[in-house]
Amino acid sequence: MHGTFTLRTAFLILLLAITSYFYGLDSRFAPKNGDEYPYMHIVRLTADSGHWLPLQSEMDGLKNTKPPLLFWQGIASSSWASQWTLWNLRWPNLLYTGLTAFCLFLAVRRFSTKTKTGALAALVWLSFFSTYRYGRPFLTDPAEVFFLSLPFMGLLYWGKAAFDSRLLFPLFTALCFGLALLAKSFAYIVPAIFALTLYYWRWREWSLSKLMTRDLLKLVLILIAALGVFSIWFLLDPAPEAIWREFVLGENAGKFQARSSNYVFDLLRGGDSIWMLVLTTLANAGLLIAVLINTLWQCWRERRFLSIEESLLLLLIAAFFIVFSLPSQRSGRYLLPVMPAFAALIAMHWQRLSLWGFRFALVLQLIILTALIWVGFNLQAENPIWHYSAWHWILMAMSVTGALLGLIKIQWSKSLTLAVCFLSYCALNSSLAPLEGALGRYDAQTIEAVQGKAVWIPCDYRAKDEEYRLLLPSTQLNGYPSQQASDITGLLGQYPLVAVQTPLGSSIDEKLAACPSCNIIGHRMEMRARQTPQEIEAILRGHIGEYLFVNEYLIAGPAIAPSPELNNQLSSELRKDACR
């Protein structure tokens, strides 16, 4: 055993975890998935309609893209979009993540009879980058993970009482599964029921006759009741045929269509192959990927001596992996509900795991921290307006010191690996903190000057205007392709009020010389996304300001005040802009 994980250590790391998850919760640059902005768009328009259903959207093919539970949650937490902030939209998902970690702690502590093992399981799961990335933003995943995991954790917690329950626990499971379907997709009932069947079958010592006589009716009840909860959407929505067309046939059945040439080719080769599914599932562990691989190798070596709880956890993982290897569109994100099971396995093997996995994680952490320090130092040196507080550099020093101590002090390696994961997340948010202040936002005078006016903004992702709505509230936002953002002359020739972008260090005065009547209303700094491979190579060579960050100017041309007729025309054409 390499070092001892104590309850005091667990408590200190828990404080770091809580800090990292709350820090930057309302940040526009928080690690997330691009789906957040389309989901925000649906919430805002549905709230504006004054009705819970049907879901509303101005984006073609993106209305009934997901069941309504997430959107109802957003309507409630934002008070029908009257308190429109990222904090109000995201905090319920953070609550789901916290509840999942707490239930995981209770379940593992119960069957392992060790509080430290339960604490480790919760902390390991929180340290996974997939948990941090998908467990905070306004996405469907936190509720899906919580409700799908809860019955399986309940079976591990209550054991025989839950397995032998004829009605109470099956109804509880059906309700949980039904809410998970309302949060994500009815398709999740397939891996959930498959995994539950394997759980009961293993508990009956692989006796098929016992499974059929004692548990078959319970499984059928859970299946029917869970789908019944999901069918509430069809019953309440005034246009159920749209749900069938857009969600059932388009969003779900479409995932079985061949992505390239044919199904078998996609299964074995390419970005949607089964091998890529294995890799992306392991990559969900983030910095602890080598620790996870080491754990799975130990489980294989000790397969004849695994406890029943370890067997059940592995069966849960196998069930989800098998089911989600069948669609032609394969993604490790579909395996997020089994990441708590991975964390529990790591916690149970913690003391016996080799140090190489933890050292690999510590080296990854050092690489990331060094890159953040290098980028931050260059930005602050080249741009006087880019300023970090002393606390930022203290945080970076603590993080690097912790990673180095983990590599040097064998007895501290495992605990420090866990702690520095959370410090790295804080460092990532802190590195972009200047953009969360006045540097990255339009001032109050600019916001007041453009209220009610039509503004054109660059879009590099669908519903990107939802981010600008946080920066420029009460404006009519229209999108144009972000690749045109530096074509200032062309943009000013088309739009009366437009946001344009220039590389850091360049002057906009020369480009405005041909337009003496143009007026800069406001400006801010922004971080670019979706760089080309050539631009990424240039960034690595040190051209950070030129390709990673830009200055954004809000410029009014000669037509500074569009007529009401033009404003109405712009509103009717919102569906056609680049943000849609």
Convert the pLDDT of each residue in 324-357 to its tens digit: 998 878 889 999 999 999 999 999 999 999 999 9
Percentage of the chain with pLDDT > 90? 70
Instruction: Give me the count of residues in the chain.
Output: 580
Cis peptide before 238 (omega within 30 of 0): no
Higher pLDDT, 496 or 131: 131
From the list 45, 76, 225, the residue with the least C-alpha distance to 143 is 76
Convert the pLDDT of each residue in 151-204 to its tens digit: 999 999 999 999 999 999 999 999 999 999 999 999 999 999 999 999 999 999
Is residue 496 helix, strand or coil?
coil
Task: Tell whether the model's pLDDT for residue 297 goes beyond 50.
Answer: yes
**How high is the pLDDT of residue 561?**
44
Task: Pull the structure tokens for residue 208.
Answer: 């098929």
- Neighbouring CB atoms inside 10 A of 416's CB total 27
Give Cα 201 distance to the centre of its chain: 34
Task: Pull the structure tokens for residue 190.
Answer: 């397939």
Convert the pLDDT of each residue in 144-159 to its tens digit: 999 999 999 999 999 9
Contact 130, 339 (CB under 8 A): yes
Convert the pLDDT of each residue in 381-394 to its tens digit: 777 788 899 999 99
Calculate the dihedral angle through the C-alpha atoms of 98, 102, 108, 112, rounding to the nearest 10 degrees: 140
**How high is the pLDDT of residue 399?**
97
Distance from C-alpha of 480 to C-alpha of 498, rounded to nearest angstrom: 10
Distance from C-alpha of 96 to C-alpha of 102, rounded to nearest angstrom: 10
**Residue 115, amino acid:** T
Task: Pull the structure tokens for residue 557.
Answer: 């041309």
Distance from C-alpha of 329 to C-alpha of 346, rounded to nearest angstrom: 29
Distance from C-alpha of 150 to C-alpha of 1, rounded to nearest angstrom: 32
Distance from C-alpha of 237 to C-alpha of 54, rounded to nearest angstrom: 5
Task: Tell whether the model's pLDDT for residue 536 goes beyond 90.
Answer: no
Question: What is the helix (H) or strand (E) element at residue 549, kind and residue range?
Answer: strand 549-556
Convert the pLDDT of each residue in 228-284 to its tens digit: 999 999 999 998 998 988 888 877 766 656 556 677 777 777 777 899 999 999 999
Q: Distance of CA 247 to CAs 39, 186, 187, 243, Å?
A: 15, 10, 11, 5
pLDDT-based confidence at residue 560 (cuts at 50, 70, 90): very low
Distance from C-alpha of 345 to C-alpha of 323, rounded to nearest angstrom: 21
Residues 6+ apart with CB under 8 A from 106: 118, 153, 157
Contact 7, 116 (CB under 8 A): yes
Contact 145, 96 (CB under 8 A): yes
Contact 488, 508 (CB under 8 A): yes
Sign of the CA dihedral with 269 first, then 343, 294, and 400 last: positive
**How high is the pLDDT of residue 260?**
60
Q: Distance of CA 283 to CAs 36, 270, 293, 318, Å?
A: 21, 17, 10, 16
Q: Taking residues 93-108, what's their average pLDDT?
A: 98
Is residue 474 helix, strand or coil?
coil
**How high is the pLDDT of residue 574?**
41
From the list 511, 508, 505, 516, the residue with the least C-alpha distance to 490 is 511
Contact 453, 475 (CB under 8 A): yes
Task: Tell whether the model's pLDDT for residue 572 goes beyond 50.
Answer: no
**Residue 566, amino acid:** L
Distance from C-alpha of 402 to C-alpha of 201, rounded to nearest angstrom: 45
- What residues are paired with 554 via a beta bridge? 499, 522
Residues 6+ apart with CB under 8 A from 444: none
Task: Tell whether the model's pLDDT for residue 404 goes beyond 60.
Answer: yes
Convert the pLDDT of each residue in 10-33 to its tens digit: 999 999 999 999 999 999 999 998
Contact 26, 85 (CB under 8 A): yes
Task: Tell whether the model's pLDDT for residue 564 goes beyond 50.
Answer: no
Higher pLDDT, 514 or 450: 450
Distance from C-alpha of 576 to C-alpha of 479, rounded to nearest angstrom: 9
